Structure 1
Amino acid sequence: MNRSIPFFGVAFFAAVLVFSCGANTNQIRRMQMIEEGVDSPTTIDELTDAIGKFQKRAEDLVNTDIRLGIWYKILGTRYLDNKMYGKALDNFRTAIEYYPTNQNLFYYVGVCAGYMAKASLDYEATGKPLDRERYYALAESAYLRAIELEPRYERALYGLSVLYIFELDRPADAIPHLELIQTIEKRNFDAMFLLARAYFSTGQGDRSIELYDKIINESKDKDRRSQAEENKAYVLQNLYAPD
């Protein structure tokens, strides 16, 4: 998905300029304190005067932080839309500094880290692709944090399950998350396919077949039903194959 960027005009580009110059909120606060002439109030009168002067300033700073956090998130999603996962990851990481309890940001970190892991090569030919392992660990921890913040967060449950099944070869760890999705959205066929695969991979072929039958009977999508039939046939062939 590649959409145009309806940003905030001059205000946004001013923010970008601030980012590029390395300014931060602490520096802005320090400049404002000097500007108001109340750097270190000590007496009651000085403190009272400082409170009066900074009440509006404090509101402005909070609003500035809110905007900065939102802009970092928007910038991250734009990079993500354009498959620039490293850039997106950097911006989501910064956005989390402003919104550390936003489950969506952690989900996006998980997505970006997963892609960066797949793009990591052993450039030094050490035989140990450490960057890949670190990115996968980051993806897992980010998805888990998103789920901790919102236990019924389907996208994070699904993303973590994909990671466990296809990248980390830990299908058993995916099963409880996929089973939870089934209680949230009973007709989530994509999650059913994953769960059926996880069941088969962990020696639960009968449960895998039950799920494929459910997809075949309930899905209105012809291609999806066909895929479920093929998968079911494969499971049956391997489930009852002679040793």
Structure 2
Amino acid sequence: MKKILFGLVISISLMTLFTGCIKSNKTIIRYQKMEEKVDHPTTIEELKEAIDKYENRVADIQLANQQIAIWYKMLGTRYVDAKMYGEALKCFQKALEFYPNNQNLYYWVGVCAGYMSHAAMDFSGTGSTQVRMNYLKLAEDAYSRAIQIDDRFVRALYGLSVIYVFELDESEKAIPLLEKVMEIETKDFNAMFVLARAYYENYEFDKAVKIYDKIISLTKAADIINAAQDLKKQVLDASY
């Protein structure tokens, strides 16, 4: 009977704790001590037992946090699949609270922030583009952090390059990033097209032409060849 009553007390107390009542750290610690039956250990045996119990608790919390982070990442990717980039961004932000050195999470933040920049609108009618720029800067920062962690992370190198070339009008910053991609992935046609565009915008017409020629030589896909030929002609016309 005593055990049953004790269990009811604990259950009621925990229900109160998790239904909105703010408890102090001292109260939470008291609940933990009651649950683990550890109060004021004094002897060597009692202290060792207390340490073992709390070490197990810490291990349980670590495992739970790992699982929570994984689920946030999974939920985020599901939102990406559904093109719900705002909700996905929130999930990846939460996952980063558990894994702040995970390059893949930063990459996905960059992807979502890039898409959200396209959705940003001036609902107040002030003419400001600040919300859009905030998302673009977030994307730039996220991709950059991913690259800091893994400097051969091709998707992050490419994503940051796209931001520089097509969004921030800073194509000169994209050139070394894309040249690195070319060293790692020698047949990445998407990166080649963006690199040629970056060369073109920086008046390096010969380099742009060489990239288009390389694309044409490496593929048999008619649509890719036609696109490269058309863009090469534009570059040649601009260079005269």
Question: Structures share a fold, TM > 0.5?
Answer: yes
2:100 is matched with 100
2:113 is matched with 113
Query: What is the SS of the residue equivalent to 1:193?
Result: helix
Q: List gaps (5 residues or longer) in structure 1.
A: 1-19
1:5 is matched with none
What's the TM-score, normalizing by structure 1? 0.83
Distance in 2 of aligned mates of 1:205 and 1:197 = 10
- Compared CA separation, residues 95 and 51, structure 1 to 2 (3 A): same
- Compared CA separation, residues 49 and 113, structure 1 to 2 (3 A): same
1:194 is matched with 194
Distance in 2 of aligned mates of 1:140 and 1:79 = 21
Q: Deviations over 1:102-155 (max 9, x none)?
A: 100000000001111111111111221221111111100000000001100000
Query: What is the SS of the residue equivalent to 1:169?
Result: coil
1:235 is matched with 235
Q: Deviations over 1:175-223 (max 9, x none)?
A: 0100000100111111111000000000100100011011111112111
Distance in 2 of aligned mates of 1:117 and 1:132 = 5
2:211 is matched with 211
Once the two structures are TM-superposed, the CA of residue 38 in structure 1 deviates from its matched residue by 3.6
Once the two structures are TM-superposed, the CA of residue 42 in structure 1 deviates from its matched residue by 7.4
1:124 is matched with 124
- Opposite residue 168 of structure 2, the aligned amino acid is L
2:72 is matched with 72
Distance in 2 of aligned mates of 1:39 and 1:99 = 33
Q: Deviations over 1:43-81 (max 9, x none)?
A: 766542311222322221111111111001000100111
Query: What is the SS of the residue equivalent to 1:73?
Result: helix
Is the counterpart of residue 156 in structure 1 residue 138 in structure 2? Answer: no
Is the counterpart of residue 224 in structure 1 residue 228 in structure 2? Answer: no
- Opposite residue 167 of structure 2, the aligned amino acid is E
Distance in 2 of aligned mates of 1:195 and 1:122 = 32
Distance in 1 of aligned mates of 2:134 and 2:84 = 19
- Opposite residue 190 of structure 2, the aligned amino acid is D
Distance in 2 of aligned mates of 1:189 and 1:99 = 32
- Compared CA separation, residues 41 and 180, structure 1 to 2 (3 A): farther
Q: List gaps (5 residues or longer) in structure 2.
A: 1-17
- Compared CA separation, residues 139 and 34, structure 1 to 2 (3 A): farther
Distance in 2 of aligned mates of 1:126 and 1:32 = 53
Query: What is the SS of the residue equivalent to 2:160?
Result: helix
Query: What is the SS of the residue equivalent to 1:164?
Result: helix
2:137 is matched with 137
Highest CA radius of gyration, 1 or 2? Answer: 2
2:184 is matched with 184
Distance in 1 of aligned mates of 2:97 and 2:54 = 24
